[in-house]
Amino acid sequence: MLLASAEPLATAYDVALMDLDGVCYRGAEPVDHADAAVEEARRLGLRMMFVTNNAAREPQTVADQLSSLGIPTSPDEVMTSSQAAAAILAAVLPTGSVVLPIGGAGLRTALTEAGFTLATGAHDAPVAVVQGFSPDLGWRELTEAAYAINAGARYVATNLDATLPTERGMAVGNGSLVAAVTNATGVVPISAGKPEPEIFRQATRRSAGSRPIAVGDRLNTDIAGARAAGIPSVHVLTGVSDARDVVLAAPHERPSYLAVDLRGLVEPHPVPSRDGAWWRCGAAAARVSGAEPHLEIRLGDREVPLEPGEPVTVSLDTWRCLAAAAWEAADDGAPLTVSQVPALQVVAPR
């Protein structure tokens, strides 16, 4: 269930493990309020670690982009899936081991900084292959990976995201390219990135934090990965997963806190509580009702069923109540379906 915080999250926790696209920016554009919210959270004492599945970019490049959008960032505050993959191998291979990078500059830099010798192909007899996304990857590179893996090399992937959002739509992601190598070798790689827990643990260690909170927009990567790592998380509505997705979330994808955007880091978070059949939070209330389950909210003295169809505008506290009610129903064996829940437009309490 949701957690309560009587104080702002920025003082309740000491480091935020921040996703990037859909949280701090969307493509080349900053997310509204992100810069001011991060500035205020830092003022309250919350450190930042920006954690990304993007394996192609180097930490300095990520830091430069964030800084250009009004979020001053150093490369030491960036954790990429390439760095996570390099750390996984560094824990099991001696320094100087020959490793074949299949990916971009960010991957090669991470492996070099971790002390590995870079192979250029299977003919260099690498002891491991690390595959990360690059738009320049082609048949030759994937085939070299297959040759090396079939010869006995370990296989690590920076992440297994099947798709990659672009301005033109969903493109082929690293996971889809990994699938080609797996199909040719029969070997499934260890994955370093979200939703695997290791990247969250590494980011926490690098930050020297002891009370981390993850911040993300994707339930199946950011939130699921945080839960797998045992780290509380806050979901924001500025990216991929919407408010209805949260209400319908499976247990392993449920966030600890709900926010409209990054301003949620500098606010307290009330939690719904049971009141008879209703879940209440402040003046808001919601429940699952009926032989054919449906959601209801209370507006003053009226009980209003939420009918699928037109989007419904609700307050942040009402969204919290809807999530609590739907999660309880699902856990009791009566899950709602997407056809039973309308699209939700959540209005921040400002």
Q: Would you name the residues annotated as active-site residues?
A: 19, 21
* Contact of 336 with 295, CB cutoff 8 Å: yes
Buried b (16+ CB within 10 A) or exposed e, 199-216: bbbbbbebbebeebbbbb
* Bridge pairing between strands 257-259 and 233-236: parallel
Which residues on adjacent β-strands are paired with residue 280? 273, 285
Q: Quick one: which H or E segment has residue 20?
A: none
**What's the rounded Cα separation, in Å, for the pair 345 and 347?**
7
Give Cα separations from 46 to 10, 269, 276 (angstroms): 5, 16, 38
Q: Which is nearest to 298 in space by CA: 312, 279, 311? A: 279
Q: Which is nearest to 295 in space by CA: 330, 265, 260, 262? A: 330
Cβ neighbours of residue 176 closer than 8 Å, sequence gap 6 or more? 162, 163
